[in-house]
Amino acid sequence: MIRTALQTVTPEPEAPEAAARDEHIAPAPRVSIQAFCETVESAAAVQSAGEDRRLGKAHVKIQMGGITAAIEAYRGSPTPNVIMLETDGRGDGILTGLDALAEFCDAGTRVVVIGRTNDVTLYRELVRRGVSDYMISPVGTIDVVRSICGLFSAPDAKPVGRVVAVVGAKGGVGASTIAHNIAWAMASDLALDSVVTDLDLAFGTAGLDYNQDPPQGIADAVFSPDRIDTAFVDRLLSKCTDHLSLLAAPATLERAYDFGPEAFDGIFDALRATMPCIVLDVPHQWNGWTQRTLVNADDILIVAEPDLANLRNAKNMFDYLRSARVNDHRPSYCLNQVGMPKRPEIKPADFAKALEDQPVAIIPFDPQTFGAAANNGQMIAEMSSSNRNAEIFLQLAQLLTGRSEVKKAKGGLLTPLLAKLMKK
């Protein structure tokens, strides 16, 4: 039927489950979500939630099998940012299942449960176990959207992003190469959305290493501090792979790159709001902003070659950073380009003694592989996934994202509760 202009058009009734007009649901960041459903209805709700604009940046995966399937899945692989679990069991079944899952849950993973029972005691037990939200089935699309977005937008919600700063103890030691390869492993092997931020504005090589020549990048942000917000910084990212983005350095010399200590703060905050993993390629310099960037990072990886100057510098950086971050875990360090023919080297054991810590990795000098990767604009794992160094970069990615390879009882889910109890 053709409607004439005179006909009153009755609006389509709104879907019963649509969000109320005055409800504002903030979009979720680029998180990975895995749902383990028991019923096709819930699976369908999660599926269509994944298509909602507010979850446009998130990656949603669904499988059937509930908690049992989740335990099976995470026994040997890292957990995503959010796990949704549907259970049709009664209280005890859910709790036993969650306790089993807690053993395999990585720190930072949030758990949402969809259950059938509306029971305060059960709800309290779930909260005690660190479950972030409990929804009573049947759940609609918007319930799922609201729940997931709420995890990241509540006033007390932790920002999603974890900042890992990688810096060399000397120039040219391979810090950038290692930063780029670790970010690659985070994105491709751990399926975590990651961004490499190239802070070496004049000479940075991230664009070359990922074979990208984006027209814009970090300079556009740092020279326009008034415009910085999440959407603006988002537009400056260039996409390298499904999960990996780059905030590239201009690597041009028309401008001088002098910055105040806080120049990059707004950019890091904007990235933290949407990106789970932020890898900072920090140039080997010691000034207000590099110092501040390192002190404020969630994790620090210092890259050193096995010689005396590197040892001295690494020791000084360690001492400085430890005293500036007394309540954080220590920076990590790795040795790179180890075993260069004919070069006298300082042994890893001597580094460990001076720094009072073992290196998290010892990467061999391998000019053929690293040289070819650099000249081809490829990562080591892209050239050969079986290369021993690709495995090392994956282990470093796991370590720096808190996703350890050997799954042992870490009590990820239980941590908040335990921490509270210990404080009492």
Ligand X SMILES: Nc1ncnc2c1ncn2[C@@H]1O[C@H](COP(=O)(O)OP(=O)(O)OP(=O)(O)O)[C@@H](O)[C@H]1O
Please report how close the Cβ of residue 174 comes to ligand X at its closest, in angstroms. 3
Give the side-chain half-sphere CA count within 13 A for 403: 25
CB of 283 to ligand X, least distance (A): 5
CB closer to ligand X out of 113 and 338: 338
| Closest to ligand X by CB, 147 or 205 | 205
Which two structure tokens, joined as six digits, stand for 325? 């971050």
Cis omega (within 30 of 0) for bond into 138: yes
The CA distance from 160 to 301, in Å, is 20
**Smallest gap, in angstroms, from Cβ of residue 22 to ligand X?**
51
Residue 337 binds to Mg ion (criterion: CB under 5 A): no
Among 87, 132, 205, 293, binds ligand X (CB under 6 A): 205
In three-state form (DSSP H/G/I as H, E/B as E, the rest C), the secondary structure along 285-308 is CCCHHHHHHHHHCCEEEEEECCCH
86 touches, from Mg ion, ligand X, none (C-beta below 5 to 8 Å by class): none
- CA-to-CA distance for 128 and 304, rounded, in angstroms? 43
Closer residue to Mg ion (CB): 280 or 414: 280
Tokens in use for 183?
A: 């970010």
Using CB under 6 A as the binding rule, the residues of this chain from 84 to 113 that contact ligand X are: none
Main-chain dihedrals φ then ψ at residue 423, nearest 5 degrees: -70, -25
In this chain, which stretch among 33-41, 174-182, 332-340, 343-351 interacts with Mg ion, using CB under 5 A? 174-182
Among 44, 191, 374, 383, binds ligand X (CB under 6 A): 374
Identity of residue 303 = V
Check residue 370 for interaction with ligand X (CB under 6 A).
yes
| # residues contacting Mg ion (CB under 5 A) | 1
Within the chain, what is the greatest distance between any pair of CA atoms? Answer: 91
Q: Tell me which of ligand X, Mg ion, none is bound by residue 177, counting a contact when its beta carbon lies within the kind-specific cut-off of 5 to 8 angstroms.
A: ligand X
Site for ligand X in 260-319 (CB under 6 A): 283-284
Q: For the CB of residue 200, give the shortest distance to Mg ion in the complex, in Å.
A: 5
Write down the least CB distance from residue 395 to Mg ion, Å: 21
One residue of 176, 245, 336, 398 binding Mg ion per CB under 5 A: 176
Applying the rule CB under 6 A, the residues between 330 and 359 that interact with ligand X are: 336-337
CA distance 54 to 23: 13
User: 38 or 198: whose CB is closer to ligand X?
Assistant: 198
The answer to whether 293 contacts Mg ion (rule: CB under 5 A) is no
To the nearest 10°, the Cα dihedral for 233, 235, 241, 244?
10
From CA 307, how far away is CA 289, in angstroms rounded?
27
Instruction: Using the minimum distance from each CB to ligand X, give the nearer residue, 107 or 372.
Output: 372
Choose one: 45-53, 157-165, 176-184, 416-424; the region binding Mg ion (CB under 5 A): 176-184
Q: Which of 113, 173, 297, 317 binds ligand X (CB under 6 A)?
A: 173
Q: What share of the chain is helix, strand, coil (3-state, %, to 5)?
A: 40, 15, 45
Q: What are 101-104's contacts with CB under 8 Å, separation 24+?
A: 101/67, 101/70, 101/71, 101/74, 101/413, 102/129, 102/130, 102/409, 102/411, 102/412, 102/413, 102/414, 103/407, 103/408, 103/409, 103/410, 103/411, 104/71, 104/74, 104/75, 104/79, 104/407, 104/410, 104/412
Count, residues near ligand X per rule CB under 6 A:
21
Alpha carbons 100 and 68: distance in angstroms, whole number: 9
Chain contacts with Mg ion (rule: CB under 5 A): 176
Chain contacts with ligand X (rule: CB under 6 A): 168, 171-177, 200, 205, 283-284, 336-337, 363, 365-367, 370-371, 374
